[in-house]
Amino acid sequence: MPINIRQVGPCFAGEVEGVDMTKPLSAEEAAAIHAGMDEYALLVFRGPVLTGDQQMAFTLSLGEIEPPSKASLRAKDDYRLPDTFADVSNLDKENKPMARDDRRRLFAIGNRLWHSDSSFKKVPAKYSLLHAHSVTSKGGNTEFADMRAAYDALDDDTKAEVEGLVCEHSQIYSRQQCGFFDLSDVERERFAPVRQTLVRTHPVTGRKSLYLASHAGGIVGWPVPEARLFLRDLIEHATQPQFVYSHKWGVGDLVMYDNRQTMHRARPFPENEVRDMRRTTLAGDVPTVEQVA
């Protein structure tokens, strides 16, 4: 069956038919998916629940995965999944929903703020592949915003103002925004800020996009409150309904999104229900700007 993609979002987001995710993609199929990602920035695949090995093999047929890193507050011996997966569930190692006031949970729900995956890493992520094993009876959508359309819709003065700006990204800053300050010195050290350009240019299409995230807590050379307010205005602009696709999850869905061209956020759901989402992540190839020591 040939691969077919039809648009499902307002200005981006496609749904793919004709792909069997239980097997790695052939070279021709992978090329069609990359071309679809260049155009739509997000692709929805529907299928059966994949084993870890199947999701990994499917992911690896599109590129190299991001090296494992400690981006959550889970200790190594507390992992439910292999460290090559991001555990985006609300579950502990025994597959039980974490208590409402569990520190790991309170850190993790920071993903309800708009963000781009791994923007707090020197080489940020390319694609994320988020796969649903269990979904909740209500809530729990993931919303995605098209940062190319958001860039295009800026007025000329703002386009000139954002050009060349460099932001500092850290999970410390995103968690400050939701009132989570409970980090040890070791964790603060691990979450030290990195620099990212505010405007990115897609290497294939040449389209510009705003590279924003709640992890961005400063702009190099700007006073902090002014930078944060400017970034907040840009995020508000970029997440207007005409730029947003909201995905309502079904079991077996896999959503692949390009972190270079989109932002996303999780929406709340009943905290006593199981929401089991597993993410594999393809590595970006270069830092967006030179880092300082």
Q: Which is nearer to ligand OGA, 230 or 243 (CB)?
A: 243
| Residue 266 in contact with ligand OGA, rule: CB under 6 A | yes
Q: Which is nearer to ligand OGA, 67 or 164 (CB)?
A: 67
Per CB under 5 A, which region of 13-21, 109-117, 135-143, 163-171 contacts Mn ion?
109-117
| Residue 129 in contact with ligand OGA, rule: CB under 6 A | no
Beta bridge partners of 256: 43, 129
Smallest distance, ligand OGA to C-beta of residue 240, A: 20
| Residue 234 in contact with ligand OGA, rule: CB under 6 A | no
Identify the sign of the CA torsion 106, 111, 117, 118: negative
> By C-alpha distance, which of 31, 5, 59 is closest to 254?
59
- Residue nearest Mn ion by beta-carbon distance: 117
Q: Which is nearer to ligand OGA, 111 or 177 (CB)?
A: 111
DSSP state of 111: G
- Applying the rule CB under 6 A, the residues between 135 and 164 that interact with ligand OGA are 142
What is the radius of gyration, based on Cα positions, of the chain? 18
> By C-alpha distance, which of 110, 114, 112, 113 is closest to 71?
110
Q: Which amino acid is at 80?
A: R
Smallest distance, ligand OGA to C-beta of residue 249, A: 8
Smallest distance, Mn ion to C-beta of residue 144, A: 10
Per CB under 5 A, which region of 51-59, 65-73, 116-124, 147-155 contacts Mn ion?
116-124
Smallest distance, ligand OGA to C-beta of residue 269, A: 9
Burial of 256 (0-12, 13-18, 19+ CB in 10 A): buried
Pure H helices in the chain:
27-40, 52-60, 103-108, 147-152, 156-162, 171-177, 185-190, 224-238
- Contact positions vs ligand OGA (CB under 6 A): 86, 88, 111, 117, 128, 130, 142, 264, 266, 277, 279
